[in-house]
Chains A and B, each alone.
Chain A
Amino acid sequence: MNGITDFELEDARPAREEVLSAQDLPGLGDLSERLRDLLEDAFAEYDALAEPRAIAEELSLADLEGVLDGFDGPVEETVIGQVYPRAAAFALYVATLGTPLAERIREMFATNDLGRGWMLDAVASSGADRLSTLLSARFETKLGRNGHSAPRVLPYSPGYCGWTVRGQKKLFARLGPEQIGVTLNDSCLMTPIKSVSGVLVSGPGEIHRFRPDFGFCDECKTRACGARMASVLRR
């Protein structure tokens, strides 16, 4: 799990239904012809331009606490703060789809090719999320081979659930994602834009269970935590 990984494009390609669902669009069967054409164009661009890769490092609990140190408030008042003390293994990661794809999206919007730009952005967003899923699966497989009993891995990322984007500063300082071409600006935003960062947390499925009644939960519109918990608890 340590080091740089280059993904096969077919592994890093999101499913069409996944892209449509994430964007609150109808399923393939109910999609209009012109939106289907937009979607297929976007996948063609994605296949031509995506350069999926990641860098990861497994950490001890003490090292993870060093990365998590420095929250704006008490770390236990965040989801990651509640989960990690019960976990068995951790790995920091940054994954990216690379610069050419990000540049193409930017170019499309700059030239008012808005519909195509939006759809390519949607495919790329799902693609970036898929990289977190791929890394989680690989970590699970590795831990299982190393004797961990039924490991269940979920990624936790700065910018969500109480962990601010500033959390990426320590993560970047530890991991060095510049090695795969990902940098962090002063506002803690990653370049290229279709990049994801976080920590993979492993343990029995139950460790990922929490009550979504934090203060920041009131502001959350997606409520993705329910599906995330279910994905590890029902296996």
Chain B
Amino acid sequence: MDILNHIAESLRKGEDQRVGTLTREAIAAGVPAADILQEGLIAGMNVVGDQFRLREIFLPDVLLSARAMYAGLEPLRPHLAKAGVPLRGKVVIGTIKGDLHDIGKNLVGIMLKGAGFEVIDLGHDVEPEAFVDTAVREGAPLIGMSALLTTTMSRMKEVVALIESRGLSGQIKTIVGGAPLSPEFAREIGADDYASDGSTAVERVKALLGVA
């Protein structure tokens, strides 16, 4: 089993220190940074995502692997930048105004970073205007919104309305998620997509932004 498979397997097991060590060894051995990212870290995270979807593992297992992902990304990041490995795109995320639940949003952020996206996390209790202003300022083509309270999810519609009123429809897309939400709700408010969990969010974001 080569070092990249070792990285993927250790990531799958949530062995963050081992992933960090193996990543440094791979870098020192001259393995291209893009290969370490794709065939080591992302490959491992993809297996985790599949196992989660099949309910073979659960959310805390995914988070242990996400910590391992970070442990591998940390030493790798400067080498990715030096090698000109492009990020897949910018995404602005946050929990909508009036809501402070952010674990789901944090998990989506981790999964998106792990998948090579640049994530601008606005935190929780975020005003609708802040989502759009940040996306415009940062040149982010996608806004991801989270809510856990049925009484706050309706404010997501304000973000969509702002995008429309500023003539940014098509330039900035939206994806929503959170326990009380559904694909029907996303359609009703005019959001471009809905994701039920972090793994799904990554796939939906890739599709929305037209990246592989």
Residue ranges of A at the interface with B (Cβ–Cβ < 8 Å): 23-26, 32, 34-35, 38, 109, 112-115, 117-119, 121, 159-160, 162-165, 185, 187-189, 193, 216, 219-222
Interface string of B49-63 (1 = CB under 8 A from A): 000000001111101
Residues of A within 8 A of B150 (CB): 160, 216, 219-220
B67 touches A219 (CB 8 A): no
A171 to chain B, nearest CB (A): 15
B98 touches A114 (CB 8 A): no
Some 11 contacts from A to B, beta carbons below 8 A apart, are A23-B59, A32-B61, A112-B66, A114-B106, A115-B63, A115-B64, A117-B63, A119-B60, A165-B152, A193-B100, A216-B150
B100 touches A189 (CB 8 A): yes
Contacts A112-B67, A121-B103 given; indicate if A35 touches B149 (C-beta within 8 A).
no
Q: Which of A32, A35, A160, A187 contacts B98 (CB 8 A)?
A: A187
B74 to chain A, nearest CB (A): 9
Contacts A35-B58, A187-B97, A220-B180 given; indicate if A114 touches B64 (C-beta within 8 A).
yes
In order of increasing CB-CB distance, the 6 nearest A-B pairs are: A114-B63, A115-B64, A115-B63, A164-B151, A189-B100, A219-B150
A71 to chain B, nearest CB (A): 11
B103 touches A115 (CB 8 A): no
B151 touches A115 (CB 8 A): no
A188 touches B98 (CB 8 A): yes
B63 touches A165 (CB 8 A): no
Interface string of B62-74 (1 = CB under 8 A from A): 0110110010000
B112 part of interface (Cβ distance < 8 Å)? no
**From B13, which residue of chain A is reached at the shortest CB distance?**
A34
B67 touches A113 (CB 8 A): yes
Residue ranges of B at the interface with A (Cβ–Cβ < 8 Å): 14, 57-61, 63-64, 66-67, 70, 97-100, 103, 106-107, 110, 124-125, 149-153, 179-182, 185
A95 to chain B, nearest CB (A): 17
**Docked CA distance A220–B153 (Å):** 11
Residues of A within 8 A of B64 (CB): 34, 38, 114-115
Residues of A within 8 A of B66 (CB): 112, 114
A70 to chain B, nearest CB (A): 15
A35 touches B60 (CB 8 A): yes
B149 touches A159 (CB 8 A): yes
Residues of A within 8 A of B99 (CB): 189
**Docked CA distance A160–B148 (Å):** 11
A115 touches B180 (CB 8 A): no
**From B59, which residue of chain A is reached at the shortest CB distance?**
A118
B34 to chain A, nearest CB (A): 23
**From B150, which residue of chain A is reached at the shortest CB distance?**
A219
Residues of B within 8 A of A216 (CB): 150-151
Residues of B within 8 A of A222 (CB): 179
17 extra A-B contacts, CB within 8 A, seeds A162-B151, A187-B97, A188-B98: A26-B58, A34-B64, A112-B67, A114-B67, A117-B63, A118-B103, A121-B103, A159-B151, A160-B151, A165-B151, A165-B152, A187-B125, A189-B99, A189-B124, A216-B150, A219-B185, A221-B180
Q: Which of A23, A163, A193, A219 contacts B180 (CB 8 A)?
A: A219
